Chain A
Amino acid sequence: MILQELTLIKGAVLSAFFILIISLFLAFSRLVRGPVLPDRIVALDLIVSLAVGLIAGYTILTEQSIFLNTAVVLALIAFLGTVAFALYLERRWL
């Protein structure tokens, strides 16, 4: 349905999706085998940045600008999660 006529912009979005999904797998591998806990937090932060990029691409692909609200919320939630993990580590071990 989306792919019935492959315009320039849809091709660009799909190639960006391809690159971003490879990046998601790389970040997930760091999340799984990170040696220390801050490594995993960094990987989670990167995964959320990649998700913001995916949402931007999806907004263009479906031409529904309402999806951009999700990016706003996700950017805020990522910051809250990072700060919460950092404070947890500090209170727990120091």
Chain B
Amino acid sequence: MSWQNIVQFILLAGLLAVTVPALGRYIAMVFGSRDDGSAPGDRVFGPVERFVYRVLGVDPEREQRWNVYAASLMAFSLMSVLVLYTLLRTQSLLPFNPTDRESLSPTGAFNTAISFVTNTNWQWYSGELSMSHLSQMLGLAVQNFVSAAVGLAIAIALIRGITRAGSRTLGNFWVDLTRGVLRILLPLSLVAAVVLMSQGVVQNLNGNTTATTVDKVVLDDGTEIVEQQIPGGPVASQEAIKELGTNGGGYYNANSSHPFESSNGFTNFFELYMLLLIPLSLVVTFGTLVRDKRQSRLLLAVMAGILIAFAGFTALVEQNGNPRLADAQVDQSLSVTQSGGNMEGKEVRFGAASCGVFAASTTGTSTGAVNCMHDSFTPIGGMAPMLHMMLGEISPGGVGVGLSGVLIMALLSVFIAGLMVGRTPEYLGKKIQAAEMKLVTLYILAMPFALLTFAATAVVLSSATTFQEGPHGLSEVLYNYASSANNNGSAFAYQGTGTQWYTVSQGISMLMGRFFTIIPVLAIGGSLAAKPKVPATSGTMPTHNPLFGFLLVGVIAIVAGLTFFPALALGPILEHLSL
């Protein structure tokens, strides 16, 4: 790696270190950290919110039990899927379709509707070839916002479960959803969109502009190419929330490697920053709301440690290049005149090392935006983002779901520690008992189940062999189901996933990965809220010291390792050994 690479990453860490605490405290205020419940900007947002509640017909003062909270969330998600499905199925009949895109097939629309509602943003299609501007704006961009706000609501509800004692309720879903959108996601996105536009990220309602190319190119089959279609679209507005909401669905097929989504080294840096910002800030929000900064510092350290390890590893491996290219007399070295590395599927303006950092961040945050093609990574370079997804959403995870993911792992860790020393496990003054542990188990089983059962079926189904030959093909299947089951959305994209089998099975896998984890989290929140707070004694295991940090990392590693090592051995590890 060049020294500029290293300074760049230090700069990113520094910028996050300065802004994450501030945003985290702001989010905490939005969700009631002040004693009087007031928050900055009440005078602006207050009237708008009251208007929204009136239209919705909900009483913002009336709180919901966990099951009603979950029912509201499920009803909102169901409506979202239905409306988005209808929009995608009828886009050819609707306006703002300058490139005359056809409506999607039933299974294709099923997959995409679920994909954007579950904050996965998996794309079996190519954006510029399949979507009208209307579908992008009215359908996909809206879900980019609200699916992130739903994640935010889940985290806040779980935190309320931890902080409250003897309470029957977890807050009001409609209030949390509205405040998350209006006070956090929308203002940040607007600012980010302007920054992106200033760098050349496009924002228009044009169809394709036809350019007369400078050189006349004759293809092998004799066809002459004298024109180039330059795409348009309201890209910057969507790009902003795509990163901030840890969504990841590109406006164009090439996602954040498309020059119109990310035009230079600065936009690449800025997009990296955006996708890490809210997930990390929410940890500070947690520390503020539970009034114990030591807890959030420990969780941040664990998340950052895992993230940096994956980022550094992938960056080094990709910068080292592909040994087979060295055999072909290709120069992959780093010098003043080239950045070098494994450049297949990578852009010159980003370089190989930054792809490693982006890959780790996009899989750690369950975003799924990519600035290079993961399928063309070296075998273990590609294994890193895959394994990072398989850890679950913890380092730092998607908006809201990441924080709840790491808190679930913390509950499991205190439980295991409790078993070892023979005490009733506690977390932040709450006894962790059989009811919670059953829900934790459900949570932990959901993702591997949604990943491995479908992946195993796909490799034996003769109609599903759309992957490359050899161990790399297994890597593709594993990666793509890891992506759907973790609501990530990045892909080993050689594999054709537009077939009926993949659109349907990945749709179901995304639903399982989202809702089989959300419901247990809310149930745990409800169960914890009802419990009294037990004061800490000398027998209480502290959950803010390095010992607990190592225990937490160990538990995360053991759960993922036991579940996925055999599959990884037959995929990327075998491929690496055959280099």
Partners in one complex: no
